[in-house]
Chain A
Amino acid sequence: MDEILLKVDDLRAGIEGKEILRGINLTVRPGEVHAIMGPNGSGKSTLSGVLAGNPRFTVTGGSADFHGLDLLALSPEDRSHEGLFLSFQYPVEIPGVSMVNFMRAAVNAKRKYFNEPPLTAGDFLKLMRQKREIVELDNKLASRSVNEGFSGGEKKRNEIFQMAVLEPRLSILDETDSGLDIDALRIVASGVNKLKTDRNATIVITHYQRLLDYIRPDFVHILYKGRIVHSGGPELALELEEKGYDWIKEQVDNA
């Protein structure tokens, strides 16, 4: 397939004058699952933050094309409307904003972007109900403030729930497995798998191979010192699990 969903070319970015991403190249096509792995501090979360448009990071070079759009020129909200979704490593608690209001604002903002009328109350509730089932999210969480008092597992399920509602074309799961027990991991992964189609794509950012037992990647990339230093198939993840990152570090540092 030649259609390209995301093409990142020599992307450089940093925070407070410190360069973290030093030339990332990555091409993602519809239907693909990419895993990005790497040791702590290699720039994994920076990459997801930069792609989602977190204003904390400054892009210093390179480009990112998102189905024909200049991704880096879009506001975070427009990136979302255009089909980019970031599942946060640490979902933010927002006291005082209920999940229902939050989701309604998100859904209707997207509809407005595409010149569609807001959903009726009935349709909205139906949508919420349908999508909640995908990640077995408790109904009672809907009336609570966003992520406030949610357990670690509930927070991550809530991320996948939001992903289900927004139906992104490209989902970036940033360390979605961190803080999850094995049952929660299974539920989250099965939610992601249910949402997978040949039209959308997923980038899974993770430390461990464990998540990849549940979400099977087509490609595995190793990020180290702000660059993708090695790419391969699913077997690369297994190799990392077995040998750790040291051999990669040695290869790169000695090169």
Chain B
Amino acid sequence: MNSLNQYIDLFEGQRATIERNAPVALNRLRQQALDTLKSVGRLPERGDEGFDRISLNDMFAPDYGLNITRVAFPADPRTAFSCDVPSVGTLSCMVVNDTFVSTPGLEGSLPEGVEVMSLAEAAELYPGLFAEQVAPADNPLVALNTLFVQDGVFIRVREGVQLEKPIQILSLFNTSQPLMAARRIRIVIEDGAKATVLVCDHPRVQEVDYLACRVTEATVGRNASLDFYDLEEATVRTRRASVFASGQMEGSSLNLCGIFLNGGMTRNEFYPRHLAEHCSTRLGGMVIGGGAQIIDNAVFLTHDHPRCTSDQLFKYALFDSAQGSFEGMVKVEEGADFTEAHQTNRNLLASPDARMHAMPQLVIYCDEVKASHGSATGQLDENALFYMRSRGIPEAEARMMLINAFMTDVLDAIALDPLRDRLHHLVDRRLRGCESMCSGCEAANN
């Protein structure tokens, strides 16, 4: 079955409704997206190049339903909770299903020069920022998102503003019916500015099928810096197809860390781009997969400017019959002299049925380059396990400590101490088999 057709049909049948309920600046992008999808013809399936473990065709096959008429979901006051990271305090907003929801007090607490608002609103206010997409328009996931996107989050940090508090986007599903949400996050960090953005993906209802089709676009200005942390804590009924794309100006830095703890089927694509010299990009990814989970990360990074650095570190720990995939393509183009590019992938298989596919790739068309890549997949160190047990640490706990230790360097890249501690705690809880959520979320559930 070709699952793409139902989306093309839906769009063509409902185009007027979709566009009536969305800003003009977003509507302008839709024709190109439609053309892209028609020319692509179908979504990638398992076995296609770059899709060793996952089938987007299957992921998009169920008829989830989209909320194109913008029916307002009642915003339960109890959902107005925050996943506060202790002692830092976050500026938070929410995306409920596919709609931006501000939290009380957000507006008043935003420092000068910082905007956090609905994407629809921003597209009306600043159509120029949406004229061109940062994400690759010929990518089918981006095109699918573009076809249906009506809202999301817009974040802008004005020139020179150093925002110390992280901005948190709590991204929730909250319906009793299956739903697909086309979400978009647009981040603009202007020259010399600095910000940290944390996205938490949670479903509020455990027993419903959801599909999140998300595009995150970030531009990082000259000498600006963005820390972007992406946490997926969902259920086996949740599917996620996410594309992250960024454009960096001279001297800027991007530090991205994806933490994928729970979910049904996840595909993450990363397209970081350097638009000038002296950019630094760090990509980290941590996957803990259990059950029949499938988690797939794909990085497409091209060095086409001199004197830029990139560093990738992706680690997986897979249990039960979980399947993981990591494909990373680092390309150093001619003329990108003095590039430094590193890519590391390490995987732990904690059960005989867990499977990992890894394909680190490095293509270099340039002489003055320092580059490395490597991947290793193995099991827990039996000697370390026995050493710990011989000191009285029960086997299950010893395993957990070792897996947590294995992930340490991924989390070390997170600059904010309290945030890192909190994420360590979440990993701990995940490994202890809890269906864990942020403490704030738990409090709200009680």
Which residues of A are interface residues toward B (Cβ below 8 A)?
52-56, 75-77, 79-81, 85-86, 88, 91-97, 101-102, 105-106, 109-110, 113, 145, 162, 166
B392 close to A101 (CB less than 8 A): no
Task: Provide the bound-state CA to CA distance between A55 and B386, in Å.
Answer: 8
- Known contacts A97-B402, A106-B392; decide if A92 and B397 are in contact (CB<8 Å): no
A80 close to B401 (CB less than 8 A): no
B392 close to A94 (CB less than 8 A): no
A77 close to B394 (CB less than 8 A): yes
Task: Tell me how far the C-beta of B34 lies from the nearest C-beta in chain A, rounded to whole angstroms.
Answer: 49
B391 close to A102 (CB less than 8 A): yes
Which 7 A/B pairs are nearest by Cβ-Cβ distance?
A: A96-B405, A80-B392, A76-B389, A92-B387, A96-B408, A106-B391, A97-B405
| Inter-chain contacts of B407 with A (CB < 8 A) | 96
- 29 residue pairs bridging A and B, Cβ less than 8 Å apart: A52-B390, A53-B390, A75-B389, A76-B386, A76-B390, A77-B389, A77-B392, A77-B394, A80-B389, A92-B384, A94-B381, A94-B387, A94-B388, A96-B402, A97-B388, A97-B404, A97-B405, A101-B401, A102-B391, A102-B393, A102-B401, A105-B388, A106-B388, A106-B391, A109-B394, A113-B392, A145-B405, A166-B391, A166-B392
Chain A residue nearest to B412 in the complex (CB): A96
Task: Provide the bound-state CA to CA distance between A192 and B409, in Å.
Answer: 36
| Inter-chain contacts of A88 with B (CB < 8 A) | 387, 390
Task: Provide the bound-state CA to CA distance between A35 and B60, in Å.
Answer: 69
- Number of residue pairs across A and B with beta carbons under 8 Å? 80
Task: Tell me how far the C-beta of A13 lies from the nearest C-beta in chain B, rounded to whole angstroms.
Answer: 15
B392 close to A81 (CB less than 8 A): yes
Task: Provide the bound-state CA to CA distance between A52 and B394, in Å.
Answer: 14
Task: Provide the bound-state CA to CA distance between A113 and B394, in Å.
Answer: 10
At the interface, yes or no: B383 with Cβ under 8 Å from chain A?
Answer: yes
Task: Provide the bound-state CA to CA distance between A145 and B401, in Å.
Answer: 12
A95 close to B390 (CB less than 8 A): no
At the interface, yes or no: B7 with Cβ under 8 Å from chain A?
Answer: no
- Known contacts A77-B393, A166-B391; decide if A96 and B386 are in contact (CB<8 Å): no
Chain B residue nearest to A97 in the complex (CB): B405
At the interface, yes or no: B63 with Cβ under 8 Å from chain A?
Answer: no
- Known contacts A75-B389, A80-B389; decide if A94 and B395 are in contact (CB<8 Å): no
Which residues of B are interface residues toward A (Cβ below 8 A)?
381-384, 386-395, 397-398, 401-402, 404-409
Task: Tell me how far the C-beta of A56 lies from the nearest C-beta in chain B, rounded to whole angstroms.
Answer: 7
B393 close to A106 (CB less than 8 A): yes
| Inter-chain contacts of B394 with A (CB < 8 A) | 77, 109
A75 close to B395 (CB less than 8 A): yes
Task: Tell me how far the C-beta of A175 lies from the nearest C-beta in chain B, rounded to whole angstroms.
Answer: 15
Given A94-B387, A97-B404, 12 further pairs, Cβ under 8 A? A55-B382, A76-B386, A77-B389, A77-B392, A77-B394, A85-B390, A92-B387, A94-B384, A95-B405, A145-B405, A162-B391, A166-B392
Task: Tell me how far the C-beta of A87 lies from the nearest C-beta in chain B, rounded to whole angstroms.
Answer: 10
Task: Tell me how far the C-beta of B99 lies from the nearest C-beta in chain A, rounded to whole angstroms.
Answer: 41
Task: Provide the bound-state CA to CA distance between A91 and B394, in Å.
Answer: 18
Task: Provide the bound-state CA to CA distance between A162 and B392, in Å.
Answer: 11
| Inter-chain contacts of A109 with B (CB < 8 A) | 392-394, 397
| Inter-chain contacts of A80 with B (CB < 8 A) | 389-392
A54 close to B386 (CB less than 8 A): yes
Task: Provide the bound-state CA to CA distance between A81 and B394, in Å.
Answer: 10
| Inter-chain contacts of B387 with A (CB < 8 A) | 88, 91-92, 94
Chain A residue nearest to B408 in the complex (CB): A96
| Inter-chain contacts of A96 with B (CB < 8 A) | 402, 404-409
Which of A79, A91, A105, A145 is the one whose CB lies under 8 Å from B393? A105
Task: Provide the bound-state CA to CA distance between A52 and B391, in Å.
Answer: 10
Chain A residue nearest to B405 in the complex (CB): A96
Task: Provide the bound-state CA to CA distance between A58 and B73, in Å.
Answer: 62
Task: Provide the bound-state CA to CA distance between A159 and B408, in Å.
Answer: 25
Task: Tell me how far the C-beta of A162 lies from the nearest C-beta in chain B, rounded to whole angstroms.
Answer: 6
Task: Provide the bound-state CA to CA distance between A93 and B406, in Å.
Answer: 13
- Known contacts A97-B401, A97-B402, A109-B393; decide if A102 and B388 are in contact (CB<8 Å): yes
Which of B390, B392, B406 is the one whose CB lies under 8 Å from A110? B392
| Inter-chain contacts of B398 with A (CB < 8 A) | 105
Task: Provide the bound-state CA to CA distance between A37 and B22, in Å.
Answer: 83
A86 close to B390 (CB less than 8 A): yes
